[in-house]
Amino acid sequence: MAADLKFAKTHEWVRPETTGVATVGISSYAVEALTDLVFMQLPAVGKRVKAGESLGEIESVKAVSDVYAPISGEIVEVNTALPGKLETLGQDPYGEGWLVRIKPDDPAELDRLLDRADYDKLVGSQPH
Amino acid sequence: MAGLSTVAVWWDPPADGPTNMAADECLAAEADSTGGLCVRFYGWSQTTISLGGFQGIAEARAVEAIRGLPLVRRPSGGGAIVHGSDLTYAAAVPKSHPWGGTPQVLYDALHGAMVEELAARGVVAWPEEVARVGADFFCFDRRAVGDLVMGAGAAGGAPAKIMGSAQRRLAGVVLQHGSLLLVGNPDLRDDVRHPGIADLPGPRGGIDAEDLSRTWVARIATALGARVSGQAAPFMRGREDRVSELAARFREEWWTARR
């Protein structure tokens, strides 16, 4: 897992890109916890999201889970191949399994997210 | 009120689908604020189809057997359920709760307690061990690990599913919907009706749904090392305005037809 990732407590990761946008995905912990993913819905390009708002939904055999926007901004790119290849989320959650790219409204919002060490601590304390 | 040491339980009178889904969203908020397991048992004012959160409306409208029955879309996943002859429950726990971690934990805890309770009543049911991946329309045609099955199906073959549950996992709280099929729903034709406990080989005499709910939830509390806090008033009492406000969304065509 790249060290430059930031994490939301709701298990989304964010990677700031040199182009000024931020790539968003969900953590390997979240993917493993959900198990047997069957459907995913992602937002359309151009949609505006606020940090903490739902930006999409994932269905596993037993559960529908919201994916929350870790930062505010405009969706500028969507991984449209992902809903048809959900196994990618398990195989490469921090690479090919990215969900969307967001043009941040306020890059300082990234500073309010967890770094990897703090996220690992959070995950370690979660009930299983 | 609740906390880890308490299981708060409400019994609500029959209501329509949108009202029930709205009340369950309030139940999730209640669990989030109290930190404990909250359970609501409820009925339906008429036979109602609840669709899983991701099921397509076109698929639902193509099922001739349910045409004319009211539809409501659940926030939770899974397949369609024909409510009216089942024991319906909603359970909610914060994700920080010992049963709020991965989806299977809460599923297994509640279903395991039901296996014990049914066994005490002479009904032998057990958790499904192998999932059957597919997109069957009805929940009771699907098989997920932990679903409860019993007896033999109509053809005398595979055991029939009698209990299934599905979750909505929100930012801080898990809402689980579940249904125990007590008897096949008389509003469906024989060829599409799923058998309930009373239709399958086992002890005769029927099961009183409210009595079962009380003894089941006592076993749930025991498994959690908690006590049951049974609420005398219905959950909706005092929450009428909020439930009504949330129910408006579940009545909207855009919500029902959003997939």
Domain range enclosing A18: 6-120
User: Is B202 in a helix, a strand, or coil?
Assistant: coil
B127 has which bridge partners? B148
Q: Give the E-state strand segments of A17-86 in sequence order.
A: 22-26, 37-41, 48-49, 54-60, 63-68, 73-78
pLDDT band at B1; cut points 50, 70, 90: very low
In the chain, the amino acid numbered A14 is V
Query: For chain B, what percent of residues have pLDDT higher than 70?
Result: 97
Q: Whole-number mean pLDDT of chain B?
A: 93
pTM over 0.95, yes/no: no
Scored b (16 or more CB within 10 A) or e, B70-97 reads bbbbbbbbbbbbbbbbbbbbbbbbbbeb
Select from B102, B133, B139, B142 the residue whose CB has the most chain A CBs within 10 Å, as the one to mutate to test that interface: B102
For residue A13, tell me if it sits in a domain.
Answer: yes
For residue A89, tell me if it sits in a domain.
Answer: yes
Q: What are phi and psi of A99, to 5 degrees?
A: -100, -60
Dump pLDDT digits (tens) for A40-55: 999 999 999 999 999 9
pLDDT band at A127; cut points 50, 70, 90: low
For residue A115, tell me if it sits in a domain.
Answer: yes
B256 to chain A, closest Cα gap in Å: 16
| B6-256 topology per CATH | BirA Bifunctional Protein; domain 2 (3.30.930)
* Whether A59 and B77 lie within 8 Å, measured CB to CB: yes
For residue A127, tell me if it sits in a domain.
Answer: no
The mean-pLDDT minimum among A31-35, B45-49, B243-247, B252-256 falls in A31-35
| Interatomic CA distance for residues A26 and A49, integer angstroms | 16
For residue A126, tell me if it sits in a domain.
Answer: no
| Interatomic CA distance for residues B77 and A95, integer angstroms | 27
* C-alpha closest to that of B6 among B41, B42, B38, B40: B38
Residue A2 pLDDT? 63
Query: Is there a catalytic annotation at residue B26?
Result: no
For residue A57, tell me if it sits in a domain.
Answer: yes
Domain count, chain A: 1
Tokens of B85: 């002859």
